[in-house]
Amino acid sequence: METKAKFVLCDRETAAPVKRAISRLPWKVQLLSIGDVVADATSVEEMMNNDDGSQCPQDLVIDPKEDVLSVPNTSGSTGYPKGAMHTHFNLICFLANMGGPKKIDKSEVQVDALLTMMGNFSVGSLMHTSMACLFGYTVITISKFNKYSYMGYIMKY
């Protein structure tokens, strides 16, 4: 309720509880879906495929130390979960501490893939995805833990 969200992203598996939560809010919320078709939701894939890019500025000037790049959620360990603003500079400093930026030499890459169960809402996800782009490995995210399929993921990836 604190964020007054204007849109919510779901998939077919999470659509029903998300729709119930939206129906209880006193303001309008746009439902977006990713992956499978979800009734009454706008498909993110369809929006991307139909976007002509006309709303994106050609020569965008930013202030890396002030302009926000990402607002991932905190875990709520010290209170309610909240968005934590990270600037472009924050991400570059993180990547520099991890050995980047540098020209990628595939012989130096020690892994082909990283298997994680980290939610796509946390700063860890942003960091792992950025590291994968920098060092050329793949990130595989498992949306929820299932003891019967987990070893299958390990063997596959």
Question: Where exactly are the structural domains of the chain?
Answer: 1-50
Mean pLDDT of the chain: 85
Percent of residues, the chain, with pLDDT higher than 70: 91
pLDDT in tens, 22-70: 999 999 999 999 888 899 999 999 999 999 988 888 888 999 999 999 8
User: What does the alpha-carbon distance between residue 98 and residue 127 come to, in Å, rounded to a whole number?
Assistant: 10
Report which of 17, 126, 138 is spatially closest to residue 72, judged by C-alpha positions: 126
> 97: helix, coil or strand?
helix
